[in-house]
């Protein structure tokens, strides 16, 4: 897949429709942020996609994102330093964009 074939996105790079997401789309979006996805990234991405399926929303803030990861995957992964290393900037926003989910409502 190439950038030209990406599904429709908004002005911040988030997919307009979460069902258009594929792992190939994730790879391209991650590369735009200079992120090469590995197993650690995919674990968080899969967690987020399950969270979205269950709650019909992205975690609304970075704090709630960290807490949700901690509750699901434990203290080692559910902390802001770990998540910032994987998804620089605002981890919830970056991870949700790569996971093909809507922008978290309270992320800058």
Q: What pLDDT digit, counting tens, does each position of 87-107 carry?
A: 998 999 999 999 999 988 765
Q: Is position 107 annotated as part of the catalytic site? A: yes
Instruction: State the Cα torsion 35-39-44-45 to the nearest 10°.
Output: 70
**Is the separation of the CB atoms in 24 and 57 below 8 Å?**
no
**Is the separation of the CB atoms in 95 and 86 below 8 Å?**
yes
Sequential pLDDT tens for the chain (108 residues): 555 578 999 988 899 988 999 999 999 999 999 999 999 999 999 999 999 999 999 888 889 999 999 999 999 999 999 999 999 989 999 999 999 999 887 655
DSSP 8-state symbol, 8: P
Q: Which of 29, 66, 98, 107 is catalytic?
A: 107
């Amino acid at each position: 897949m190439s950038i030209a074939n990406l599904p429709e996105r908004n002005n911040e790079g988030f997919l307009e429709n979460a069902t258009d997401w594929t792992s190939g789309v994730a790879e391209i979006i991650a590369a735009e942020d200079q992120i090469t996805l590995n197993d650690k990234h995919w674990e968080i991405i899969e967690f987020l996609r399950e969270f979205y399926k269950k709650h019909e929303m992205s975690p609304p803030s970075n704090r709630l994102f960290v807490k949700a990861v901690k509750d699901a995957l434990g203290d080692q992964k559910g902390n802001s330093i770990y998540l910032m290393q994987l998804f620089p900037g605002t981890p919830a926003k970056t991870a949700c964009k790569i996971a093909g989910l809507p922008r978290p409502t309270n992320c800058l």
